[in-house]
Chains A and B, each alone.
Chain A
Amino acid sequence: AQTVTQSQPEMSVQEAETVTLSCTYDTSENNYYLFWYKQPPSRQMILVIRQEAYKQQNATENRFSVNFQKAAKSFSLKISDSQLGDTAMYFCAFTNFGNEKLTFGTGTRLTIIP
């Protein structure tokens, strides 16, 4: 069974600083996708960034980037120039290629301090 572990239940940083959220996963598969989702307080979950396991290049989306280490089964999210609107729960998620369900970690609650 696949598992996703987020070891940081809560984090807080000052506005404009850089923060890194950690995620590790366990799978015996070789082809899979990894995602970071953001769930703001009382709002719906939105996709932040995705990574295909067969791609060595780390994905980036504006201020968001990942550090994907396939051998270590690690998938961390870096948020640069953090903004107040980044305050949210962040979930790391995994799905095998050909399998439709997402497996989520327990989340990291990120607070950006003005």
Chain B
Amino acid sequence: DTGVSQNPRHKITKRGQNVTFRCDPISEHNRLYWYRQTLGQGPEFLTYFQNEAQLEKSRLLSDRFSAERPKGSFSTLEIQRTEQGDSAMYLCASSPETGYHEQYFGPGTRLTVT
């Protein structure tokens, strides 16, 4: 069990550029989640996958955001035409299908939009 990994750990981009983040969940977990955390706040839910199916999306996930999990393994989160308000920590978590809904978090990708 190597835990949830996320890449890159830090990303600095200029406003208007596109960025893509990757999340590798714990191998036997079929559920994968994306959250966004701004300074001094708790994480806010963005979207959730069960295997390759995206089952729920938050209103926070504007049209500029897209997430995929093509083979039910790793996931990518893309932000197009980044804005300064997109600056945040993007957290990925995974959980098994059975159990107590415990989610295991990765270290996050910190995005800074200049």
Chain A residues packing against B (C-beta within 8 Å): 4, 33, 35, 37, 43-47, 50, 52, 91, 93, 95, 97, 100-107
| Listed stretches B19-27, B67-75, B96-104; interface member | B96-104
Report the Cα distance A76→B102, complex, angstroms: 18
Q: Report B46-73 CB contacts with A as 1/0, cut-off 8 Å.
A: 0010100001101000000000000000
Chain B residues packing against A (C-beta within 8 Å): 31, 33, 35, 40-45, 48, 50, 55-56, 58, 91, 95, 100-108
Q: How far is the CB of A7 from chain B (nearest CB, A)?
A: 14
Are A33 and B101 closer than 8 Å at their CB atoms? yes
Are A102 and B40 closer than 8 Å at their CB atoms? no
Residues from chain A with a CB closer than 8 A to the CB of B43 are 45, 91, 102, 104
Are A33 and B45 closer than 8 Å at their CB atoms? no
Across the two chains, which residue of chain A brings its CB closest to B100? A50
Most buried by B among A35, A44, A50, A102: A102
Across the two chains, which residue of chain B brings its CB closest to A50? B100
Are A100 and B55 closer than 8 Å at their CB atoms? yes
Known: A43-B107, A44-B108. A101 touches B48 (CB 8 A): yes
4 nearest A-B pairs in the assembled complex, by CB-CB distance: A104-B42, A101-B45, A45-B105, A44-B107
Report the Cα distance A47→B104, complex, angstroms: 7
Q: How far is the CB of A2 from chain B (nearest CB, A)?
A: 11
Residues from chain A with a CB closer than 8 A to the CB of B45 are 101-103
Residues from chain A with a CB closer than 8 A to the CB of B106 are 44
Residues from chain B with a CB closer than 8 A to the CB of A105 are 42
Contact partner of A44 (CB less than 8 A), chosen from B55, B95, B105, is: B105
